[in-house]
Structure 1
Amino acid sequence: MKPIEDPRLTAMGLLSEVHAGLAARMQPVFSAAGLSEADFETLVRLGRSPGERLRMTDLAAQTGLSTSGVTRVVDRLERDGLVTRVACAHDRRTSYAALTDAGRERLESVLPLHLADIESCFTGLLAEDQLEAFLAALRTIRDVVRPCATAGAERISPART
């Protein structure tokens, strides 16, 4: 077999094509809500975290953004009143990004449409056993290529203020 015909190239190509296609399909819902893909991912990560907050460094690790990139996203979301920064009571060097009531409401307004998109062009195309196997395979790969993608999720965050 020629290297150009290697199925590993096919796997990477398919993954890239699927990601690009899904991102394009999801963007109109985000745009209609005044959010970028990074904004939405940030709100989801906060919404799914204990206390609806994450340390800024954990948020950067989970989203795959640089620390300056996550700072820019949080700055924008904070200006829009969707998140707030909360200082850590025990460590002055640490701050948290926390979902506000307005952020939770924006997220809740987008989720039904987003979930419908996911169902129609992604998860709904797979049988239950295929989806379970697919999710397990993705987690296996994610744990190798982005082991910090769940940073902060296991930690109990301070109560919301």
Structure 2
Amino acid sequence: MGGNSPCASCKLLRRRCAKDCIFAPFFPSDDPQKFAIVHKVFGASNVSKMLQELPIQQRADAVSSLVYEANARVRDPVYGCVGAISYLQNQVSQLQMQLAVAQAEILCIQMQQEPSLPDQQMEADEKSFVTPNNLNSLPQFMNYGTSSNVTIQEPLKRESLWT
């Protein structure tokens, strides 16, 4: 940058912003909070070393990651962004379970509304019933539950659907 308007890092560190300032492209003077939080968590020297070790085309992504991690560390000093990721993964698991329950309820209602089926059709219909054995054949949006910590309990007995 050099000259009139120093970048946010040079402004915060109270130094002259050189033309080849490594921070200038990523920490503009109009967003001083962005560098302030990164500096608080990582330190200017460490950030400078990290950026110098990276190819120029990867530096913007690295700065974006540093800003995200610094914000997460300020909110949660122990877990940082790992805590946020864990929280979101738990939410996804809970929503997948709610979806599975809702789909099972829909299936139960549909089964109750169907008229009596002949024995051979009933046997064929049982194959479409959700059990641990055919869980992998469910539509793609249901398969997410198979890779999470969801424990599948014993399948429902068919008689319990009509009682």
Q: So what's the TM-score if we normalise by structure 1?
A: 0.25
Structure with max Cα Rg: 2
Q: So what's the TM-score if we normalise by structure 2?
A: 0.25
User: Whose RCO is larger (CA < 8 A, sep 6+)?
Assistant: 1
